[in-house]
Amino acid sequence: MRKANIAVFASGTGSNFSAIVRAVKTGVIKANLALLICDNPDAPVINKAVRAKIRTVIIAAKDFPSRDSFEKAVTGVLRGCNVDLIVLAGFMRILSPVFVKSYPKRIINIHPALLPSFKGAHAIRDAFEYGVKVTGVTVHFVDEQTDHGPVIMQEPVRIGNKDTLPRLEKRIHKVEHRVYPEAIDLCLRGRLRLRGRKVVR
């Protein structure tokens, strides 16, 4: 029986990508990290993938006349690598409903807040500035809506009186790097089932 193939989509520094690489190498995730797809040619994650000897494909949306043509190029690469699970790790592009429906229950994302609270690209800052006492991390299946979809795992992070925004960001990223590999492993081992919009283990 072959190992499952993972494709990571990333656009930035790649801290979660590095955590996934470590988890694959240590056997926490029993799968092949087959591919990194990056839409930003200047992203630091590319150098991390090169050092880890992970196949990297740069597909910049600006090089395509439409989102549809961009996503068709991405789909072609995924099919060529026989990808079983798509893992979004700081991928700063919204996938179309057509693309998402092509990979039902096979795309997951991590968000640095306790969804449905604080959706969007600045979730840590928004939670900190709003003044909540608890925020956290959510791993979820991706559906046709942004920062939506059935929740796989959540872990709370308390915001202390002495926390600064940089300190909170560091603490949340540390939780992300631990929780995301665990969630990926659950997905790949078939330990998750969907009942309506609820994930059942």
Q: Which residues are catalytic?
A: 111
With contact defined as beta carbons under 8 Å apart, do 154 and 189 qualify? no
* Angle value at C-alpha 104, between 101 and 108, nearest 5 degrees: 110
118: left (phi over 0), alpha (psi -120 to 50) or beta: left
Distance CA 128, CA 143 (A): 27
Residue 15 host element (H or E): helix 15-25
ω into 166 cis (within 30 of 0): no
* Residue carrying structure tokens 């429906």: 101
For residue 137, list its beta bridge partners. Answer: 155
With contact defined as beta carbons under 8 Å apart, do 140 and 152 qualify? yes
